Amino acid sequence: MRSWRRVVLPAAGVVVVAGIGYGLTALSESDAAVNWAQLASVALGVFTLIPPLVSTWRRRQPGGTSTIEQIERAERTLRVLVHEQWHEEIAMRELDEPARLPVRWRISGLDVMDQDERVDGLRLLRSWFGFGRVRFEGRTDRMPEIAVRFRKLARRRLVILGEAGMGKTTLAVLLLRELLMDPKPGDPVPVLLSMSGWDPAAEPVHRWLGRRLRENYPALRAPEFGPDVARGLVSHRRILPVLDGLDELPDAVRPKVVNALNAASAVESLILTCRTGEYVTAVNLRDGAVLAGAAVIEPRPVKSSDVISYLRDRLAPGQRADWTGLLSALKADPDGPLSEALSTPLVVWLLHKVYVETRADPAPLYDTERFPTAAAVTDHLLDTLVQASFAAAPPDDDPGERHEHDHPFRPRRTWEPGEARRWLSFVAHHMSAIGTRDFRWWHLHRAISRRWSVLVGGVTVGLSVGVTVGLTSDAVVALRSPHEGSLRDALLFGLAGGPVGGLVGGLTGGLILERLKGYTLEPAYANLRWRGNAGRLAGQLALGLVTVLPVGLIAALALWRVAGMSARVDGLIPYALVIGAIGGLTLGLNNWVTTPLTNDRPQGPLITLRRDLQLVYGRSLTFGLALGLAFGFAGTLVNGFSGLLRGAEAGVAFGLAGGVVFTLTFGFTGASSTYLVAVTMLRVRGRIPLRLMSLLEDARRIGLLRQVGPVYRFRHEKLQDRLAHLHVHSDRPEPK
């Protein structure tokens, strides 16, 4: 379904380009020079649409396999990339503190684990005397011990269970880092992947893993690593999947995932996180099964004494007097609502962000009349988290200046805390409405109803295209036949007539594009770095010339005869060379832009948005310039524009028009352009700021969001759910 759409849209571009050429020819009184220009434009339009067609064809080819040497080089590269990625992310999440909150983990007492000998191998007591259980104990503030115990498991398979807020993902991330920091010979590369949206019935395990590796780490798509090194890394067991969030999948999908992982020969070692209730249900269904050979661990509630010690270590001298009452209440009433709430790492973190970092008085928290339950304490902390976090972390305007309680990552811009919470609440509501924990910027258009997308998109594209084509075509006519008032009359005609046809075509095209794009939007890859990449550019340009120049010669001959200029053989060779050269350079530049390098950083939300924008508008600029050159050269070649200057003027005008048309039609079917339209519409309605991605990145820098590959996630699902709840209730009208 998706592949044919990728072919249809570029192929339809040929028809659009031909239509533009025919329309301009008609408006130009069928003069030979303008006919030539339009035919040249059609040729260049076809050449410019070759890259997406070629890319689609390549994706559909089975391809070869990477060599062992290429897989080993890719494994080393991936290890470096993952280490750099999580070094920064762990620092932003403040998980690298020397004295972390100790969360104790142990083997689950539930009947959800495979037979002991399959988990931990044969042990003396079990094999000789028939007693003794698998032991797996550890603490998050002693991660080397947990890593050692993990490596001793027979298959190095681990399931991390726990209720919401107990630190499952935190343990998985810290274990990933420990395995990266101290690798042993033969250790695979641990890679954390969100499981959201995966259905093994539609996409087998090895294919899903390979796709996610290619998406998150574009360096693995570099030509130096062969045709499909991601698949090689999976099939040769060179990665250790850290699969986060089995509970986020639909109920019917969870047992299928476990069964698929059990049957996947390419997946030996793995780490899986899931909430306890959802995992118990999944493995106990009729078609369910436990994860073969995996140790299953659960956390113990956090002790009040550990919480007291953790808070005391983080209080400034001037704060300690204000906290005496709360710390005493925790010690005196270990079963009270405050102590119950602080038995989870999530609420301890919330308390630190809302009260310790802001130096607020925590006395109201142990008022049982105001907060009679643990849920009331948690909701209060969640409700005030966003404002407190932004208020406590002003932007780092002077990186050299040290602020009290400063940390390496501060927001880059100033956000009013109340507005920041309102905007993040809308984002949370949007994510919950479409049923996901991942914020994909290329899905933001789903927050807008389809009828508004069609209306606004159609009007915007139609008006822009209509006015651009109308003005350009009539300006070209005026330039060819200059007389007093001709340019003014042409411009007035373009302004009057262009929007009429543009609106009709835009609304019709908007409806078609809206239906076509539905579920196929994905960010594209582009890399415009010149440093260290000039040699590759030269090679791609040369390859494009060699590939397209023969096609250009054939196309030029055909167009020459169609234009009725067969008697003028003297112009054929230069015309063919120019058309072929421009088409070849266009193809070579496209290939250079879309070819990853071996040192490309992992995909992050801001990086993917920037690269998609670069590709869309880079292609549009290339298309416009190539179109203009062909137009001007063809017109000058037959003396239709009265010299080189007139030809250059007409070429520039038509080139700009072609670039705008291409951007506003096919560019708007791209992920980044659709995102910009959605942001604009939502900003007009007051839902989000224009700099939405800047807000989300700053929210990540102060710990409210986390980044997993190209998506943002709220620090915890409870935060997303609470913000979505606040958005719904804030939008309700006041009762009369």
Element (H, E) at 461: helix 450-480
Same domain, 119 and 183: yes
pLDDT by residue (tens digit) across 441-500? 988 988 886 656 555 555 555 555 545 554 555 555 555 554 444 445 544 444 444 444
Tell me what pLDDT residue 585 has.
Answer: 74
**Mean predicted confidence (pLDDT) in 44-71:** 59
- What span, in angstroms and rounded, lies between the C-alpha atoms of 521 and 266? 30
CA–CA separation, 329 vs 365, rounded Å?
A: 10
- Count CB neighbours of 91 within 10 A: 13
Same domain, 272 and 368: no
For 464, the domain range is: 2-57+449-669
Task: With respect to residue 239, please indicate whether it lies within any of the assigned structural domains.
Answer: yes
User: Per the domain annotation, does 735 fall within a domain?
Assistant: no
Instruction: Please report the pLDDT score of residue 460 as a whole number.
Output: 55
The dihedrals phi and psi of 357, each to the nearest 5 degrees, come to -65, -30
The rounded Cα 276 to chain-centroid distance in angstroms is: 29
Which pLDDT value is given to residue 446? Answer: 86
Q: What is the chain's alpha carbon radius of gyration, rounded to the nearest angstrom?
A: 31
Shared-domain flag, residues 125 and 181: yes
Amino acid letter, residue 131:
F
* Cα 502 to Cα 468: distance, rounded to the nearest angstrom: 9
b/e burial code for range 495-518 (CB count within 10 A of at least 16 → b): eebbbeebbebbbebbbebbeebe
Q: How confident is the model at residue 61 (pLDDT cuts 50, 70, 90)?
A: very low
Say which residues have a Cβ less than 8 Å from residue 318's Cβ, sequence separation at least 6: 359
pLDDT value of position 611: 87
Give the separation between CA 615 and CA 59, rounded to whole angstroms: 18
* CA distances (Å), origin 385, targets 361, 372, 378: 15, 20, 10
More confident residue, 433 or 578: 433
Which residue intervals of 643-670 are DSSP H helices? 644-665
Task: Compute the CA torsion angle 715, 721, 725, 731 (nearest 10 deg).
Answer: 60
Count the Cβ atoms, other than its own, within 10 Å of residue 569: 9
User: Which pair of structure tokens corresponds to residue 186?
Assistant: 């033969």
Q: Is 509 a member of any domain?
A: yes
SS3 per-residue string spanning 71-110: HHHHHHHHHHHHHHHHHHHHHHCCCCCCCCCCCEEEECCC
Residue 9: which residues within 8 A CB-CB, separation 6 or more? 52, 516, 666, 669
Q: Establish if 638 belongs to a structural domain.
A: yes
Q: Kindly report the backbone phi and psi dihedral angles of residue 709, in degrees, each rounded to the nearest multiple of 5, phi listed first.
A: 65, -135
Statement: residue 691 has pLDDT above 70: yes
- Closest alpha carbon to 463 in 503, 516, 411, 491: 503
Same domain, 272 and 157: yes
| 270 and 201 share one domain | yes
The percentage of the chain sitting over the pLDDT mark of 90, rounded to a whole number, equals 43
What residue type is assigned to position 411 of the chain?
A: P
The pLDDT, as a whole number, for residue 402 is 44
pLDDT tier at 256, thresholds 50, 70, 90:
very high
Q: What tokens were used for 336? A: 């009270």
Any domain includes 397: no
Tell me: do 490 and 586 sit in the same domain. Answer: yes
pLDDT at 543: 73
What is the mean predicted confidence (pLDDT) over 636-661? 53
CB 199 within 8 A of CB 256: yes
Q: Could you tell me the CATH number of the domain that includes residue 433? A: 1.10.10
Q: Is the pLDDT of residue 595 over 60?
A: yes
Q: Are residues 289 and 373 in the same domain?
A: no
| DSSP-assigned beta bridge partners for residue 192 | 242
Structure tokens of 524? Answer: 């594209």
| Gap between the Cα atoms of 268 and 695, Å rounded | 40
Give the pLDDT mean for 589-612.
83
Last residue of a domain, one of 669, 690, 711: 669
**Confidence at residue 675, expressed as pLDDT on a 0 to 100 scale:** 85
User: What's the mean per-residue pLDDT of the chain?
Assistant: 77
pLDDT of 281: 95
CB-CB contact of 224 with 70 (8 Å): yes
Q: Are residues 222 and 323 in the same domain?
A: no
Tell whether 399 is covered by a domain: no
Domain boundary among 261, 276, 299: 299
**Eight-state DSSP code of residue 336:** S
Q: Which of 274-288, 440-454, 552-566, 624-638 has the highest mean pLDDT?
A: 274-288
pLDDT at 301: 92
| pLDDT of 310 higher than 50 | yes
Could you tell me whether strands 270-273 and 239-244 are parallel, antiparallel, or unpaired per DSSP bridges?
Answer: parallel
Q: Which residue has the tokens 């759910």?
A: 721
Given this model, what pLDDT does residue 135 score? 86
Nearest alpha-carbon partner for 48 in 579, 524, 635: 579
Please tell me the predicted confidence (pLDDT) of residue 632: 55
What is the per-residue pLDDT for 628?
57
The pair phi, psi for residue 687, each rounded to 5°, is -85, -40
Instruction: Give the side-chain half-sphere CA count within 13 A for 318.
Output: 5
| CATH number of the domain bearing residue 244 | 3.40.50
Q: How many Å apart are CA 624 and CA 296, to the nearest integer?
A: 59
Sole residue written with tokens 């060699």 = 546
Residue 622's pLDDT is 66
pTM summary value: 0.79
What is the per-residue pLDDT across 293-305, written as a single tens digit (0 to 9) for each?
A: 999 999 999 999 9
Residues in the chain: 736
For the chain, give the percent of residues with pLDDT over 70. 65
CB–CB of 477/490 below 8 Å?
yes
Range with lowest mean pLDDT among 88-102, 142-156, 654-668: 654-668
The reply to whether 315 and 221 lie within a common domain is no
Structure tokens at 280: 């118990």
List, in order, residues 6 or more apart from 19 with CB less than 8 Å away. Answer: none
Among 243, 265, 299, give the residue marking a domain's end: 299
pLDDT higher than threshold 70 for residue 655? no
CA-based nearest residue to 280, from 86, 80, 111: 111
The count of structural domains within the chain is: 4
For 3-14, what is the mean pLDDT? 47
| Same-domain status, 320 and 384 | yes
Q: Is residue 398 part of a domain?
A: no
Quick one: pLDDT at residue 456? Answer: 58
d(C-alpha 382, C-alpha 392), whole Å: 16
530 and 382 inside one domain:
no
Contact status, residue 596 vs residue 221, Cβ threshold 8 Å: yes
Q: What is the pLDDT of residue 87?
A: 87
Tokens of 307: 């919480």
Residue 695 falls inside a structural domain? yes
Judged by average pLDDT, the poorest of 7-11, 418-422, 686-690 is 7-11
Closest CA to 172 of 289, 86, 283, 263: 86
Between CA 603 and CA 708 the distance in angstroms is 9
Q: What is the rounded distance in angstroms from the CA atom of residue 707 to the CA atom of residue 558?
A: 53
pLDDT bin (cut points 50, 70, 90) of residue 97 is confident
pLDDT at 343: 93
* Amino acid letter for position 482: P
Q: Do residues 284 and 339 share a domain?
A: no
Q: Find how far residue 150's CA is from the centre of its chain.
A: 31
Which range in 307-316, 419-428, 457-466, 604-613 is most confidently predicted, on average pLDDT? Answer: 419-428
